[in-house]
Amino acid sequence: MPEKIAYLFPGQGSQFVGMGRDLLESFPTAKEIFQQTDEICERPISRFCFEGPMEELTLTETLQPAITAVNLAALAALQASGVKPFVSVGHSLGEYAALVSAGVLQAGDALRLVRKRGELMHRESLSHPGTMAAVLGLPIETVERIVDEAKGDDILAVANHNTAEQIVITGQKEPVSRAVQAVKKEGAKAIPLKVSGAWHCRLMEGAVAEFREFMEQIPFSPPATRMFFNATGDAEADPEAMKDIMAKQLVSPVKWYDIVQQMVSEGVQTFVEVGPKKVLTGLVRKIVPKDGEIRLFQVDDSAGLEKFLARESKF
């Protein structure tokens, strides 16, 4: 049976100063990606990746093209090696690199989309400020009940269903604060997140139609390989439907837990995080059954690529 490989592309929260530098120095294709990013964004995004400062790198209009550039540079290194994934997925922002991996988008178009996405989300975060918090130790049903009870007439929602008991909530500051207190009364943990906006909820609603309209100038192709989408937790092949899903992703929860379970059910055993840090690798470890035979790799530099390529084809 052929090896089923999943490429996982990280999103916001995986950034660090210096990310992508080794890729730039080791792979000519990576250099092209970073040059293309700077040209499309009309800003020195690559310099922010390599040199910071972290304050600039954390701003969503900088961070979105920066993370995407590193993800795409790592993907380019993998593609040059000849390895092809069975499925590509991304976490929130990471979906744009996954679309490139699956053959839906060209790299330049993905960068154009994340530039626009970052600008729109930044605008909405200034007009409709909010916050986010990670809830640890409660199942999704309990968190959804807390959200329903705490929101009242305000905006509060589940943003990310990351693992069985790691869930992120998002919304206006007051209802998030109420939900945090309710979580603590349940004996669980709620950790405020350092974010510049309340992503994946109705506070971003003002960006959806404009972003969907912007997509009309970007060609989407049917995926050449399998891909699961955050907003639905399922696969999609129709280009226009994919555009709708990617626009609605701005206000929809990330169904990461469902996506990983779906990949495991389809026989994926090799997971490769393609991009900075190991956030998604850690989430996969918590989702896959303890007795599950899986292998985890991370490729964001030449050493990570060599380790992945040197793997044995069987367990």
Domain ranges of the chain: 5-126+202-309, 130-192
Residue where the block lists tokens 């939900």: 179
CA dihedral in degrees (298, 47, 52, 73; nearest 10)? -10
| pLDDT band at 314; cut points 50, 70, 90 | low
For domain 5-126+202-309, say whether CATH 3.40.366.10 is its number: yes
Question: 100-148 pLDDT, tens per residue?
Answer: 999 999 999 999 999 999 999 999 999 999 999 999 999 999 999 999 9
CB burial class (10 A; 0-12, 13-18, 19+) of residue 187?
Answer: exposed
Task: Enumerate helices (H) and strands (E) in the chain, giving the number of each.
Answer: 14, 9
Task: Determine the distance from the C-alpha atom of residue 306 to the mean position of all C-alpha atoms in its chain, rounded to a whole number.
Answer: 24
What's the pLDDT at 2?
A: 85
For domain 130-192, say whether CATH 3.30.70.250 is its number: yes
pTM score of the predicted model:
0.97
Residue 154 pLDDT > 80: yes
Q: What percent of the chain has pLDDT over 90?
A: 95
Pick the catalytic residue: 46, 122, 200, 252? 200
Question: 192-228 pLDDT, tens per residue?
Answer: 998 889 999 999 999 999 999 999 999 999 999 999 9
d(CA 67, CA 49): 8
| pLDDT band at 290; cut points 50, 70, 90 | confident
E strand or H helix at 167, and its extent? strand 166-171
Query: Listing from the earlier edge strand, what are the strands of the sheet with 156-163?
Result: 156-163, 166-171, 131-136, 189-192
Does the annotation mark 91 as catalytic?
no
What's the pLDDT at 312?
A: 60
Greatest CA span in the chain, whole angstroms? 55
E strand or H helix at 132, and its extent? strand 131-136
Question: 64-83 pLDDT, tens per residue?
Answer: 999 999 999 999 999 999 99
Pick the catalytic residue: 92, 101, 125, 252? 92
- Amino acid making up residue 141: E
Query: Could you check whether 5-126+202-309 and 130-192 share the same CATH topology?
Result: no
Question: 156-189 pLDDT, tens per residue?
Answer: 999 999 999 999 999 999 999 999 999 999 999 9
Does the annotation mark 200 as catalytic?
yes
d(CA 12, CA 95): 11
Closest CA to 252 of 236, 228, 230, 227: 230
Cis peptide before 289 (omega within 30 of 0): no
103: Cβ contacts below 8 Å, ≥ 6 apart:
221, 223, 224, 225
Q: Phi/psi zone of residue 266: left (φ > 0), alpha (ψ -120 to 50 degrees), beta?
A: alpha
